[in-house]
Structure 1
């Protein structure tokens, strides 16, 4: 009898250990918060137009007479530094270095008041949707921003909901020779970035190209792009995303800390011209000190988490030169439909809570189900024994004779 009890206790202990171990494995796998990614490639008929930024060196964004008159000593000194000529009427050997050395001297008020108007650079846009100019209808807008080195032209096309404007792929292919939109940039030298909202400046991997017009030649840039959308999961999942605009947080941090410590705007940002009108930018060359590095690292620490919902674009650009009359040099841009598919990447829990609850419930149901069966058997045996005992007493009281007991369970 004692051996039987020990054997039963051993079986119960073993079953309990197995149950606890299985529950531990389920819980451990759930608490790892692993993520699996599902990628969907698709070709949408409605193509989203990204934000485009043109960076115009300040040498070509102003009337040189104004710059030479108001900033004569600095202007002449910088010209002599980067050119063998005594003045800057001609092209400089390195206009990018010139504008980086000169741009931080300009207050935002002068940039807003004396830089060329937007219409001088881009006065009309043609697109595939209709013959109307989206600049006139308000569907596309061009705004000016300022940085320490460049006048920044921001072209963004939005619908009535404030989302990026979409144009028809079919109409572009059938009616407009595959062009989504095209326009001419009236600038001698420019840098171009096709950016997507939300990327922090430190890791901006958007297309960054340089173009310059030569006398009697007109560059023509054909740009094809595809959209890549990624949706991540917030903590505690391993993607650890955050709902914020990385670019905005990063640039605001740089400017706020720079204004607090130096009284100047950060050279690594671009700001609207209607803000900080009397302020200057830090110089990218004179700012190599511990304070600038500390500010940069502090702000960088704020944007380490990826965004939960982000969009990026991949670009391909081809350029060719066309002959044109002297004095009519412009840069032509054609945004074209591409046959490459867009992509949607969605992060999903590898072991979601719903599955965890189902498997845990099944586990406990299995083991507790066995225990309940055992309890029912015990109750049945007890009832049988009680019934047998009462039947024996009744028979013995009537016959006064011993009666053989009948067992309910064999």
Structure 2
């Protein structure tokens, strides 16, 4: 079998071209990156998603629970001994006991745990025995328009420690925003709403693509006395972080990290016998069936189940990549428990802080990388044509000589 010289040259060129492309690509993916930071004042003020978090101990309708669960009366008697100054009679037992429960947990806050609840919650009890916080926002005004008129969407979530509500207002397909001139005419107010929420709750701003978080450090917490009508003023500073797309050295991914960890934990806990839910993972309101609880019955005596902790660490490692684009809203606020009118109110005002944009780019842009690859391919293509060009040259020279001899 005779091997042509052109085939050998072509194979050599293919190997050399692939090797060089591999080498430059490997180097390119390890290139250093440039970090850019930009600050700006926008001509319009965006209204991101508003998250409200109500801890489970105040989210539960204790009046309803005490009326339907007589065994809770023994618990009330123990609290009565602790808080003797608030004696109750048969007629006001449930009312006073509810106040005792609030008082006990407010003393422990923010270190209230799932195991501190005297009432074992499951998905069904959360849906039936907690306050419907959607009815607790009596009026939301954005730029002089009521939220019912501007397409605001209200969704609910829960975990074993709290219930959540998200209000997200859209202007077409974009988040609702208010022109700074309109805010100036509106006495510096972006939006405000009246509420009748429980005695303690947290409020924050978030990206609508994110999952609600139970991390109370991310919320502006409001605690009020029963029967009072406090008011609060809040604002937020926006930070946008744009990273490189996978597989650059920042190894970022387009996904929601909290949701990824939650789904990973669901795979572990729902595979157990009997199945249950992780008490820290946040779930959409109708995501799971009612009979599921938030602890493994085989480990009820343990405050921390080692197997569950190991599963969480594994899920956290799997979701260790950086999110390619992340928007964070840092909430700040002032709270006053002075009585102002007959409604509790939260006022959203512009922040004095600049919006911050962090971006990361490769030192060698993508278009330059493509041009460089093109040069490599062109060079090896030219080399692979050497044998053919040589044959054409020799053939042309031979024909020229033949023509000369004939003449």
TM-score w.r.t. the length of structure 1 is 0.69
* 1:348 aligned partner: 361
Q: Are residue 151 (structure 1) and residue 163 (structure 2) matched?
A: yes
Tell me, what secondary structure is at the counterpart of 1:89?
helix
What is the aligned counterpart of 1:208 among 219, 223, 226? 219
Deviations along 1:344-383, whole A, 9 cap, x unmatched?
2221111235445768969x99xxxxxxxxxxxxxxxxxx
Correspondence for 1:314: 330
Map of 2:68 onto structure 1: 70
Q: Which residue of 2 aligns with 1:386?
A: none
8 Å Cα contact 1:241/1:306 also seen in 2: yes
Task: Find the counterpart in structure 1 of residue 59 from structure 2.
Answer: 61
Evaluate the alpha carbon distance shift between residue 359 and residue 120 of structure 1 in structure 2; reply closer, same or farther with a 3 A threshold: closer
Q: 2:314 aligns with which of 298, 301, 314?
A: 298
* Cα distance between partner residues in 2 of 1:148 and 1:82: 27
Equivalences for residues 362-377 of structure 1 within 5 A: none
Task: Spell out, residue by residue over 1:187-237, the C-alpha distance to the aligned partner (whole angstroms, 9 max, x if none).
Answer: 342231425346688996863233221267533221111222122112332
**In the alignment, does 2:266 pair up with 1:266?**
no
Structure 1 residues 244-255: aligned runs within 5 Å:
244-255=255-266
1:171 alignment partner, one of 164, 170, 182: 182
Residues 48 and 167 of structure 1 are in contact (CA less than 8 Å); yes or no, is this contact kept in structure 2? yes
- 179 and 76 in structure 1: CA distance in 2 versus 1, 3 angstrom threshold: farther
SS, match of residue 247 in structure 1: helix
Q: What residue number does 2:292 align with?
A: 279
Verify the 8 A CA contact 1:104 1:280 in the aligned structure 2: no
Q: Confirm whether residue 89 of structure 1 aligns to residue 80 of structure 2.
A: no
Question: What are the superposed Cα offsets for residues 36-70 of structure 1, whole Å, 9 maximum, x if unpaired?
Answer: 02222122123222222222234443442321133
Q: Whole-Å Cα distance in 1 between the matches of residues 113 and 241 of structure 2?
A: 39
C-alpha change, 1:29 and 1:240, in structure 2 (3 Å) is same
Secondary structure in 2 matching 1:222: strand
Q: Distance in 1 between matches of 2:301 and 2:156?
A: 24
Could you say if the C-alpha distance between residues 286 and 55 of structure 1 is closer, same or farther in structure 2, counting changes exceeding 3 Å?
farther
Are the equivalent residues in 1 in contact too, given 2:40–2:354 (CA < 8 A)? yes
> Measured at CA, do residues 47 and 187 of structure 1 come closer, stay the same or move farther in structure 2, by a change above 3 Å?
same
Q: Verify the 8 A CA contact 1:57 1:189 in the aligned structure 2.
A: no
Instruction: Check if 1:338 corresponds to 2:351.
Output: yes
Q: Distance in 1 between matches of 2:50 and 2:249?
A: 33
- How big is the shift at 1:124? 0.8
Q: Is the 8 A contact 2:231 2:340 kept in 1?
A: no
**For 1:276 and 1:75, how far apart are their aligned partners in 2?**
30
Are residue 257 (structure 1) and residue 268 (structure 2) matched? yes
Question: Tell me, what secondary structure is at the counterpart of 2:82?
Answer: coil
Superposed CA RMSD: 3.7
State the TM-score, normalized to the length of structure 2: 0.70
SS at match of 1:33: coil
Asked which structure has the greater CA Rg, the reply is 1
1:310 Cα deviation after fit:
1.4
CA distance in 2, matches of 1:51, 1:337: 15
Structure 2 SS opposite 1:292 = helix
Residues 45 and 122 from structure 1, CA distance in 2 versus in 1: closer, same or farther, beyond 3 angstroms?
same
Distance in 2, matches of 1:309 and 1:112, equals 34
1:6-25 mapped onto 2 (5 Å cutoff):
none
Greater mean alpha carbon deviation, residues 201-210 or residues 102-111: 201-210
- Give unpaired runs (5+ residues) of structure 1: 1-24, 366-410
Does 1:181 pair with 2:196? no
User: How far 1:83 sits from its partner (Å)?
Assistant: 7.5
Q: 1:166 deviation in Å?
A: 2.2
Give the structure 2 partner of residue 109 of structure 1: 124
Which ranges of structure 2 fall in alignment gaps of 5 or more residues?
1-22, 85-95, 380-407
